[in-house]
Amino acid sequence: MTAPVLLDVRQIARYYGKFRALGEVSVSFRQGELAAIIGPNGAGKSTFFNVISGGVPASSGQVLFKGKDITRIAPHEYARKGIAKSFQITNVFKHLSAHENVRVALQMQATRFQLWKSRDDYPQIKADADALLERVGLASVGRQFAGDLAHGQQRALEIAMALACKPELLLMDEPTAGMSPEETQTMVDLIRQLATERTVILVEHKMKMVMGLCNRLIVLHHGELLAEGNPDEIRSNPEVRRVYLGQH
């Protein structure tokens, strides 16, 4: 039985003045997919991510999540809809501990007006923060300042914070950017585990990595949809080989 569509992108375009960064791209993502948006530099990957994650508004077209139009909702509303985001530039509170970072994210879900209430008043939130740190492999560094963590650990911490809203969809912008080979493998293993519980969409430029990780690839070129399919289909696509694979 085919899984239902979770995210439906319909003829999305994005212009910056007269420059067309994205041109009427239509693609859908089903529940349980682990998909990647790939393409050469300037293909429109980041613009696509920013539009579907609410970072920038679409110039035209629609984005539907579970059948409901989310094209114009405010970025902060995404978490309440069940969509979490992890950005290429790590977005953590470096002066707080890893545990405090996750606790803040959890408290933002629990209450809008008592964010800085003592953690002793939220025993369940403390336990949930511990569980999330364990989930992403950071249980042993929970008391360390986020700013003192290695780059890969900071990325994992941001993912723990994203998971605080119990998302059905996790959007990740170049999750292995700037990582060592060891950190990259750790992140790949984490992404694979996370994808067993939710839909995950990556924007990545590491072709070899996504070929071994994702079950579906969407290839952009000059802001347009060039191809989509499983890794074998993308490898054998002559247009993809011409504009992308041939560069490596």
- pLDDT tens, residue by residue, 17-63: 999 999 999 999 999 999 999 988 889 999 999 999 998 999 999 99
Residue 178 lies in a domain: no
Cα–Cα distance, 31 to 227 (Å, whole number)? 20
Residue 75 lies in a domain: no
pLDDT digits (tens, 9 = 90+) for 219-234: 999 999 999 999 999 9
Q: Find the domain containing 145 and state its range.
A: 94-165
CA atoms within 13 A on the CB side of 120: 0
Residue 60 lies in a domain: no
For 54: left if phi > 0, alpha if psi spans -120 to 50, otherwise beta; the answer is: left
Residue 205 lies in a domain: no
Position with higher pLDDT, 80 vs 118: 80
pLDDT digits (tens, 9 = 90+) for 137-162: 999 999 999 999 999 999 999 999 99
Cα–Cα distance, 153 to 139 (Å, whole number)? 11
Cα–Cα distance, 22 to 203 (Å, whole number)? 15
- Number of domain units in the chain: 1
Instruction: Indicate whether 84 pLDDT > 90.
Output: yes
Per the confidence metrics, is the pTM higher than 0.85? yes
Quick one: pLDDT at residue 113?
Answer: 45
Residue 155 lies in a domain: yes
Could you tell me the two tokens for 15? 């212009």
Residue 136 lies in a domain: yes
Residue 234 lies in a domain: no
Query: Are the CB atoms for 116 and 93 separated by under 8 Å?
Result: no
Residue 86 lies in a domain: no
Mean pLDDT across the chain = 89
Residue 114: pLDDT band with limits 50, 70, 90:
low
User: What is the sign of the dihedral through the CA atoms of 104, 109, 110 and 113?
Assistant: positive
